[in-house]
Amino acid sequence: MKLISGNANRPLAEAIAAYLGQPLTKCMVRRFADMEVFVEIQENVRGQDVFIIQPTSFPTNDHLMELLIIIDAARRASARRITAVVPYFGYARQDRKPGPRTPITAKLVANMIERAGADRVLTIDLHAGQIQGFFDIPVDNLYAAPVMVQDLKRHYDLENVMVVSPDVGGVVRARALAKRIGAQLAIVDKRRERPGESEVMNIIGDVKGHSCILIDDIVDSGGTLCNAAEALLDQGAREVSAYITHGVLSGGAVARISASPLKELVITDSIQPTEAVRVASNIRVISVAELLGEAVQRTADERSVSSLFY
């Protein structure tokens, strides 16, 4: 087995390598003067089972190109099998045509990864499960939920927890987590009654007096999250926290979350946390390195990965 990291999240790659008890393969990923990506795998990978660890997070296009070029280098170096380990799969939110003349970038990126030469993909909490079907190679879509549940048990009194989906689209994900911890489920229903009028937030479920835990796959601008937190507190929630797999946290998101009434936001290290995230007083990062490391080991051993879902 060979583990190769791009530049997107080296600390996570190192933590996966530490879990597996083997070093990262030496691989130079640098830029020419015009910013083209140059890759040189500096160890023999001929006939090896190669795992390339690279979330396609900000700057998405650069990290995606790095991933594709490392896959190409591994393929041309005669790797036996190449698994793209993409903890955060960028471009996933465009997974259907919302209107005429719009792209489906999740499919385009799937095509690119496959065409570059990946034999398998390993990822966590795809924005939509059906993106697996955009590939014609095996895709293991792990869930961060087991890691979140462990953390929730350590930090919260589950008796009083109510799991909340911040929008109708996230109900399946939130319900699955609620089931794992035996909690009730509430839903934030955002509605724009008439064009041009601001959105109204209706809460489906009685959240009064509960510790509300918002569950989502992505926090980007933080708008969805902070609006939901305020609506829940308005309805009498005792406190509001959030567990969200991918901390995209663009622009002023960290400042918005720091200034919000959220007790805490817990994200995973699927995306490398920025310095602003690390010092934010109400953002905590939990690691998916062991989950990914175990999935890598099982893939290499041809053992079941689905048992990691529970």
Q: Which residues are catalytic?
A: 190
Q: Which of 152, 75, 141 is nearest to 114 (CA)?
A: 75
Query: Could you tell me the smallest distance in angstroms from the CB atom of residue 88 to ligand R5P?
Result: 12
Residue with smaller CB distance to ligand R5P, 90 or 222: 222
Pairing type for strands 49-53 and 283-286 reads unpaired
R_g over Cα of the chain: 20
For 256, residues 6+ apart whose C-beta sits below 8 A from its C-beta are 221, 222, 223, 226
The answer to whether the CB of 201 falls within 8 A of the CB of 237 is no
The answer to whether the CB of 163 falls within 8 A of the CB of 178 is yes
Q: Strands (DSSP E) along 173-253, which ranges?
A: 184-191, 200-204, 211-219, 239-247
Residue with smaller CB distance to ligand R5P, 59 or 236: 59
Query: Could you tell me the smallest distance in angstroms from the CB atom of residue 127 to ligand R5P?
Result: 6
Query: Could you tell me the smallest distance in angstroms from the CB atom of residue 221 to ligand R5P?
Result: 3
Task: Give the number of residues written for the chain.
Answer: 310
Residue with smaller CB distance to ligand R5P, 158 or 259: 259
Query: Could you tell me the smallest distance in angstroms from the CB atom of residue 191 to ligand R5P?
Result: 16
Q: Which residues would be at the binding site for ligand R5P (CB under 6 A)?
A: 166-167, 169-170, 216-225
Percent composition of the chain: helix, strand, coil (DSSP 3-state, to 5): 35, 25, 40
Residue with smaller CB distance to ligand R5P, 23 or 223: 223
